[in-house]
Each structure stands twice: as C-alpha cells, then as structure tokens.
Amino acid sequence: LQHPVDASELASRIDAMLRERGDQAYRVLIVDDDLALAEHYRLVLAAAGMRAEVLSEPTEIVERVAGFRPELILLDVDLSGYAGPDLATIIRYYDEWVGLPIVYLSAETDHARQIEALSRGADDFLVKPISDAQLVAVVSVRAYRFRQLAELMYLDSLTGLYKHGPIKDALNAELTRARRKRDSLSVAMIDIDHFKRVNDTYGHAQGDRVIRALAHLLKQRLRQSDRIGRYGGEEFLVIMPASRADEARLAIDDVRRRFAALQFHHDSQVFTCTLSAGVADIAGDDAPQAMLVAADAALYAAKAAGRDRVVL
Ligand code: GH3
Ligand code: MG
Ligand code: MG
Ligand code: MG
C-alpha cells in the first residue's frame, strides 16, 4: 500500500490545524445505531481535541443539529429502520445547513450503492473498518475547512456576529424548534442612540469601535444558546431560545446598563453612548416576520419615549 503523505507529517499538520482552531473545539455529530462503535468514534475524536456527540435517535436529527450546531456529521448509511441518505436529504432541506459537511460511514463496498448514497446530499464516504488516524484526519480537515468557510459566509467581519441573512435564517430555525417543543422564544432589536453624532463628532473609526464594544458586551453577557446578529449598521438582532419576553428584557437591560457605563476615549475627550431596544416573544403561531415587526415597533417606542431603554 502506498501512502501519498508520510503519516507522522500528516499527524503534525493536523495537530497544527487543531491548535489554530483557537479555544473552540470542533463539534462533530455521530449518527450511528451501533452504539459501541459510535462511542469508540466519540472517544477517538475527543482524544484529538474535538467535541463529539452521539445521536442514536434519527428522528431527532433536526433538533440536534439546531441545538448542537455540529461542524461535521458522521452518518451511518444503514441505520435500523432509517436510511442515512434520507437524513442527509432532510438536513440539506435547510438553507442554513447547505454547506455542513456530511460524511457517511458504512460497511458498504458496492460502488453503485456508495455513489447512490453520495448523490443524496453527503460529501464523502468512509468504508468501515476505519482506522482511528483516518477518522481524525478526515473529520478535522473537513471541519477546519467548514469553519473557515462558515466564518466568511455567516459572520460579519467587523463584529464576528451573524450577518443579516444568517441571523434571519437562524430565527426561522429557532422558531420552528420552539413551536415543536412548545417552548418560549424571544427576540430583541437593538439600535445605538444618536449614532450619527458619534460618527460626526469623533469619526467613523471611533464609531466602529463603539459597534465592536457593543458586540463584545452582547457576546459576553448573553447565553451561549442565544444568537446575536448585526442586523444593519448599528442595529443588532438577538434571538433568545427558551426565554420569555420578561426574561429577555432583563438580560437586554443588563447589557443596556453596561453599555451606557462604557467610556470611550478619543484624543483627550471621553464620551459615552446609549442604546434602545425592543423585545418581543413568540405569540400564537407567529411567523418570523411578525416577531420582527413587533420587536421593531417596541424599539420605535423606546426611541420615542426618550431612548436609553428597553421596551417590551
Ligand atoms: P437614533 O437614536 O434615532 O437611532 O439615531 P441615529 O443617529 O443612530 O440614527 P440612524 O440609524 O439614522 O443613524 C445610524 C448611522 O450609523 C448612520 C450611518 O452613517 C452609521 N453607520 C452605519 N453603519 C456603520 C458602520 O459600520 N460604522 C460606522 N462608524 N457608522 C455606521
Ligand atoms: Mg448501522
Ligand atoms: Mg441609531
Ligand atoms: Mg439605526
């Protein structure tokens, strides 16, 4: 057998990649009905510094992908009572997950069936038995590439928050999930007050610093499961799963107070900024657009009432 790359060289390259990923381990979802094998894969990936979870109940795939947000899915082709390719097709149905790498695992050596399975929405095919080194190599290389791509596609470069389109896609997905689980869900629309004055008085670069400071506060103070997007120039949309409007209002009000307390330095001058926000929650069989309209109306009311406040 000929190896195109020296195994130890490959291992060190992958080590370097894993180090470069920063403090966040790659998230990998393993879907296999052979639980002993799935657990083995999970341990191998964990030993390589990744965070893997096992899904044994295929019907929960959409919920798990939305909740865990994997950066790669290892998908068994032959699940009892369920075809892996059907799951791949379901995942691809969601715009948000179009680029998510899906790698099939199978004992399938029939090429025609392999190709058939690939045509159903996956990216690659690993034939069992798979060596630990091969598993780590394939998963880490693909997850690394996906994270790079996802950052470009979904994240705003100034703030590292979701861009406009992706945060709206996220709202669709969270709303679907909240309805199915009969859970609460809130959104907040946040807008910096008199931001034109900041730009006019201190310059555009200083304005950018204010935007970044607010983004940082939001990331720092809100929950890991909350989704934060830069909806427009100095406007932010926050999606808060499992939060009622009164809880969401408290969390956003905490951010409001901390933001108002920040001091920005420009030459020898010191200035502060405030923000206004509108909060709305899921009501009846709300469409995503209705929630946004309600949050926007609340934001408008906050501005009209004098700014520097959160309105429900
Ligand atoms: P209000 O309290 O009513 O929200 O007043 P405002 O001045 O914030 O109102 P408006 O939303 O009309 O102005 C927002 C300004 O934000 C206009 C635009 O020049 C500026 N802006 C938009 N995007 C950016 C950006 O990325 N960087 C900077 N520095 N300014 C931006
Ligand atoms: Mg199986
Ligand atoms: Mg504004
Ligand atoms: Mg604005």
Helix, strand or coil for residue 155? strand
Output the DSSP codes for 27-56.
Answer: EEEEE-S-HHHHHHHHHHHHHTT-EEEEE-
Instruction: For ligand 3, an ion, list residues with CB under 5 A.
Output: 191-192, 195
Q: Which whole number is the average pLDDT over 174-185?
A: 88
What pTM was estimated for this model as a whole?
0.76
ipTM for the assembly: 0.95
**d(CA 199, ligand 2 centre) in Å:** 59
Q: Report the relative pairing of strands 51-55 and 310-311 from DSSP bridges.
A: unpaired
Q: Based on the number of CB atoms within 10 Å of its own CB, is 264 exposed (0-12), middle (13-18) or buried (19 or more)?
A: middle
Substitution candidate for ligand 1 out of 156, 195, 199, 211 with most atoms within 8 A of CB: 195
Tell me, what DSSP letter sits at residue 94? S
Q: How far apart are CA 189 and CA 239, in angstroms?
A: 9
pLDDT band at 224 (very low <50, low <70, confident <90, very high): confident
Ligand nearest to the CA of 193: 1
pLDDT band at 23 (very low <50, low <70, confident <90, very high): low
**d(CA 229, ligand 1 centre) in Å:** 16
**d(CA 274, ligand 3 centre) in Å:** 10
Ligand 1 atom closest to 206 (CA): 29
Give the contacts of 98 (CB within 8 A, at least 6 positions apart).
92
Long-range CB contacts for residues 106-113, cutoff 8 Å, separation at least 24: 106/76, 106/77, 106/78, 107/78, 108/77, 108/78
Window from 43-47, 79-83, 111-115, 129-133 with minimum mean pLDDT: 79-83
**d(CA 192, ligand 4 centre) in Å:** 7
Q: How far apart are CA 12 and CA 137, in angstroms?
A: 11
Structure tokens at 144: 């690394």
pLDDT band at 310 (very low <50, low <70, confident <90, very high): very high
Give the contacts of 290 (CB within 8 A, at least 6 positions apart).
283
- 208 touches ligand 1 (CB under 6 Å): yes
Residue nearest ligand 1's atom 26 by CA: 233
**d(CA 224, ligand 1 centre) in Å:** 28
Ligand 1 atom closest to 197 (CA): 7
Q: How far apart are CA 214 and CA 201, in angstroms?
A: 19
Element housing 179 (H / E): helix 164-180
Long-range CB contacts for residues 87-92, cutoff 8 Å, separation at least 24: 87/31, 87/58, 87/61, 88/120, 88/121, 88/122, 89/120, 89/121, 90/61, 90/62, 91/61, 91/62, 91/65, 91/121, 92/121
Ligand 1 atom closest to 158 (CA): 26
Residue nearest ligand 1's atom 22 by CA: 233
Residue for token pair 């798990």: 64
**d(CA 84, ligand 4 centre) in Å:** 46
pLDDT digits (tens, 9 = 90+) for 276-302: 999 999 876 668 889 999 999 999 999
Q: Which whole number is the average pLDDT over 201-217?
A: 97
pLDDT digits (tens, 9 = 90+) for 143-165: 999 999 988 888 999 999 999 99
- 191 touches ligand 1 (CB under 6 Å): yes
Q: At what angle do helices 61-68 and 164-180 cross, to 10 degrees?
A: 130
Q: How far apart are CA 301 and CA 105, in angstroms?
A: 54
- 300 touches ligand 1 (CB under 6 Å): no
